[in-house]
Chains A and B, each alone.
Chain A
Amino acid sequence: MVAKHKPKARAQSPNRGVLGLVCEYAVNALARVDGRASGLKFNKLVCEVHEIMSHATDHAFRFALPRRWYLYGEVVDAAQVWNIVRFQHPDDEFGTNVDIVPGGPRSRPDGFADELGRITKEFAVKYRGPEGIEPMLRHHYERAPYPFQRGFLHWSQLTRGIINGYNQDDTDAVAKAFTRLEGEYPVDLDERLTTAFNRLTLYLGPSVQERRFGDLRGLDRQERVIWDFWKAFCLFLSVKHNSDEPRDEVERFRKHAEVELVAYQRRLVTFLEREYLDEPRSAQDAEGPSAQVATALADGIIRALTDGF
Chain B
Amino acid sequence: MASETHYALDTNVVVAATIGPAERLWPNWCKFDATEPDTRFVPSLVREEFYAVAEGVGTTRPGIIDLVISDTLIAIRLGTSVPPSDAALAGKGITGNRLEKVRLLLLDFSRQSGGWDARKARALLRDFEKGYAIRKADFFQRHPVNTSLDTKSCAAIQSKLSTLVPNGGQSWIRDCEILAQVNHILHTGTLDGLFVTEDEHHIGRHAKRILQFTVIRGIRDLNGRFY
Chain A residues proximal to chain B, CB less than 8 Å: 182-183, 187, 191-192, 194-196, 198-199, 201-203, 205-206, 258, 262, 265-266, 269, 272-273, 276-277, 279, 281, 284-298, 300-302, 304-309
Counting contact residues on chain B (CB < 8 A from A), the size range is 35 or more
Q: State whether B56 touches A195 (Cβ < 8 A).
A: yes
Q: State whether B70 touches A309 (Cβ < 8 A).
A: no
B198 at the interface (CB under 8 A from A): no
Instruction: With A198-B70, A202-B126, A206-B126 as known contacts, state yes or no: A291 contacts B131, CB within 8 Å.
Output: yes
Most buried by B among A187, A262, A286, A296: A286
Q: Pull 17 A–B residue pairs with CB atoms less than 8 Å apart, ordered by A.
A: A187-B93, A191-B67, A192-B62, A205-B126, A262-B58, A265-B56, A266-B57, A273-B133, A276-B133, A285-B130, A287-B131, A290-B124, A294-B131, A297-B101, A300-B101, A302-B40, A309-B169
Q: Could you say which residues of chain A place their CB within 8 Å of the CB of B64? A: 297, 300-301, 304
Q: Could you say which residues of chain B place their CB within 8 Å of the CB of A198? A: 69-70, 73-74
B50 at the interface (CB under 8 A from A): yes
Contact of B129 among A199, A258, A265, A292 (CB under 8 A): A199
Q: Could you say which residues of chain A place their CB within 8 Å of the CB of B93? A: 187
B206 at the interface (CB under 8 A from A): no
Q: Could you say which residues of chain B place their CB within 8 Å of the CB of A187? A: 74, 92-93
Instruction: With A198-B69, A290-B124 as known contacts, state yes or no: A301 contacts B54, CB within 8 Å.
Output: yes
Q: Could you say which residues of chain A place their CB within 8 Å of the CB of B53? A: 301, 304-305, 308
Q: State whether A202 touches B122 (Cβ < 8 A).
A: yes
- B125-157 vs A: 1/0 string, CB under 8 Å? 111111111111110000000000000000000
Report the stretch among B104-112, B182-190, B212-220 that lies at the interface: B104-112
CA A287 to CA B50, docked complex, whole Å: 20
CA A123 to CA B36, docked complex, whole Å: 67
Q: State whether B55 touches A265 (Cβ < 8 A).
A: yes
- B32-54 vs A: 1/0 string, CB under 8 Å? 00000110100000000110011
B63 at the interface (CB under 8 A from A): yes
- B170-206 vs A: 1/0 string, CB under 8 Å? 1111001000000000000000000000000000000
Q: Could you say which residues of chain A place their CB within 8 Å of the CB of B136? A: 273
Contact of A202 among B69, B169, B170 (CB under 8 A): B69
Q: Could you say which residues of chain A place their CB within 8 Å of the CB of B49? A: 305
Q: State whether B56 touches A305 (Cβ < 8 A).
A: no
Contact of A293 among B56, B57, B62, B128 (CB under 8 A): B128
Q: Could you say which residues of chain A place their CB within 8 Å of the CB of B163? A: none
B96 at the interface (CB under 8 A from A): no
